[in-house]
Amino acid sequence: MAFQILLNVVLALVWMFLSHSYNPSSFIVGYLLGILLLLGFRKFFNSRFYMQRVWAVIKLFFLFIKELIMANISVLKVILKPKLDMKPGIFALETELKNPWEITLLANLITLTPGTLVIDVSDDNKVLYIHAMDINDVQSDIDAIKNSFEKAIMEVSR
């Protein structure tokens, strides 16, 4: 991926030399043309076309913001309810992610989701221990959300 970005920058510099104008706007034009060129030659690279990965990062960021807002609404509901009738508990979640930064990102996302908070990660990085605010009605929903997060993170790192 880093190689493709570097190649794109070099192509933009070549475009600046060819068109004899050394300013930011011609760099941007050259960069856009370089993206098209890399798109045309994408089957000669080992990894994917890198703009796909940039797009996946942008999608993950918006997922992050959406979950933060949803989490706040659900915490608000629990706090402002007149009776404290939630059922907290700790459950284990097995993860397929391997790299440490992926697991950190997943833990951060889970901490910001509605009603869940990561308490511990097992020593072999396979299991996350999660404290849930209301364990009965969320268990299946949460698993669905986790799967979507894991998929979004894998989309980035694949």
Partner 1 sequence: MTEIEISKIIVGLLVLLGAFLSAVSAFGIIRLPDVYTRNHAASKSATLGVISVMLAAFIYFYAEHGHFNSRVILGILFVFFTAPVSGHLISRAAYNSGVKLWDKSVRDDLKNKKK
Q: Which residues bind partner 1 (CB under 8 A)?
A: 68-69, 71-72, 75-76, 78-80, 84, 86-92, 107-108, 111-112, 115, 117-120, 122, 127, 129, 131, 133, 135-136
Structure tokens at 75: 């915490």
Sign of CA dihedral 96, 101, 103, 107: negative
Q: Please, what is the minimum distance in Å from the beta carbon of residue 44 to partner 1?
A: 36
Q: Please, what is the minimum distance in Å from the beta carbon of residue 27 to partner 1?
A: 22
Q: How far is CA 123 from the centre of its chain?
A: 23
Q: Please, what is the minimum distance in Å from the beta carbon of residue 39 to partner 1?
A: 30
Sign of CA dihedral 156, 91, 145, 58: negative
Nearest CB to partner 1, comparing residues 36 and 69? 69
Nearest CB to partner 1, comparing residues 46 and 136? 136
Which residue, chain included where needed, has tokens 């908070």?
Answer: 117
Nearest CB to partner 1, comparing residues 12 and 128? 128
Q: Please, what is the minimum distance in Å from the beta carbon of residue 8 to partner 1?
A: 25
Could you give the C-alpha distances from 106 to 6, 55, 63, 136, 146, in angstroms and in order? 29, 18, 12, 22, 8
Nearest CB to partner 1, comparing residues 7 and 86? 86
DSSP-H helix ranges across 20-134: 24-40, 50-80, 100-111
Q: Please, what is the minimum distance in Å from the beta carbon of residue 10 to partner 1?
A: 29
Nearest CB to partner 1, comparing residues 11 and 107? 107
